[in-house]
Structure 1
Amino acid sequence: MRTFLDSFFILCLCFTTARSLECTRCTDYSGEGCSQTTSACPANTNTCVFTYSELRIANQVVPLTTKTCGNDNECNQISRMTLAEDTSFLRSSTCCNSDNCTSPTPILPVLDTTPNGFSCPACYLINSTSCQSTGTIACRGDETRCIRMSINGGATFSLAFQGCSSANICSMQQYFNGLNSQLNYGVACCDPSSQGSNTCTV
Structure 2
Amino acid sequence: MPPSSALKSLLTSWVLTALVSSIVESYKCTSCSLYGCSADMQRTCETSKSCFVSKQELRASGMLLQHVEEKGCSSSKCVPRTFSATLGDDQTFGYSHQCCEDELCNQGDFQVPQKSSEPNGIKCPACYNVYDISCDPVLLDCTGTETKCVEVIGIDSPIFMIFAMGCATETACNLKNVTILNSIKIRTYCREQSSGDAH
Any idea what the Cα deviations from partners look like across 1:91-147, whole Å, max 9, x if unmatched? 33432236986353213465311111001111111113x223331111110001111
Structure 2 match to 1:74: 80
Instruction: Assess if the C-alpha contact under 8 Å between 1:145 and 1:189 holds in 2.
Output: yes
- How far residue 34 of structure 1 moved from its aligned partner, in angstroms, is 6.0
Instruction: Assess if the C-alpha contact under 8 Å between 2:85 and 2:168 holds in 1.
Output: yes
Question: 2:134 aligned with 1:137, yes or no?
Answer: no
Structure 2 match to 1:123: 127
Moved over 6 A (4+): 199-202
- Aligned residue pairs: how many? 168
Structure 2 match to 1:48: 51
Structure 2 match to 1:7: none
- How far residue 173 of structure 1 moved from its aligned partner, in angstroms, is 2.1
Q: 1:34 to 1:186 in 2, by over 3 A?
A: farther
Q: 1:46 to 1:154 in 2, by over 3 A?
A: same
Q: Quick check: which one's strand share is greater?
A: 2
Structure 2 match to 1:8: none
Question: 2:169 aligned with 1:172, yes or no?
Answer: no
- How far residue 152 of structure 1 moved from its aligned partner, in angstroms, is 2.0
Question: 2:195 aligned with 1:198, yes or no?
Answer: yes
SS at match of 2:34: strand
What is the distance in 2 between the residues matched to 1:22 and 1:201?
50
What is the distance in 2 between the residues matched to 1:96 and 1:116?
32
What is the distance in 2 between the residues matched to 1:65 and 1:143?
23
Letter in 1 for 2:33: C
Instruction: Assess if the C-alpha contact under 8 Å between 1:118 and 1:138 holds in 2.
Output: yes
Any idea what the Cα deviations from partners look like across 1:170-189, whole Å, max 9, x if unmatched? 14325x16998x75432111
- Flag structure 2 segments of 5+ consecutive residues without an equivalent: 1-26
Structure 1 match to 2:61: 58
What is the distance in 2 between the residues matched to 1:52 and 1:178?
10
Instruction: Assess if the C-alpha contact under 8 Å between 2:55 and 2:110 holds in 1.
Output: yes
Letter in 1 for 2:34: T
Q: 1:132 to 1:65 in 2, by over 3 A?
A: same
Instruction: Assess if the C-alpha contact under 8 Å between 1:150 and 1:158 holds in 2.
Output: yes
The alignment-based identity, stated in percent, is 22
Q: CA RMSD in A?
A: 3.8
Question: 2:10 aligned with 1:27, yes or no?
Answer: no
TM-score (norm 1): 0.63
Structure 1 match to 2:9: none
TM-score (norm 2): 0.64
Partner of residue 94 from structure 1, selected from 80, 95, 98: 98
Instruction: Assess if the C-alpha contact under 8 Å between 1:190 and 1:200 holds in 2.
Output: no
SS at match of 1:189: strand
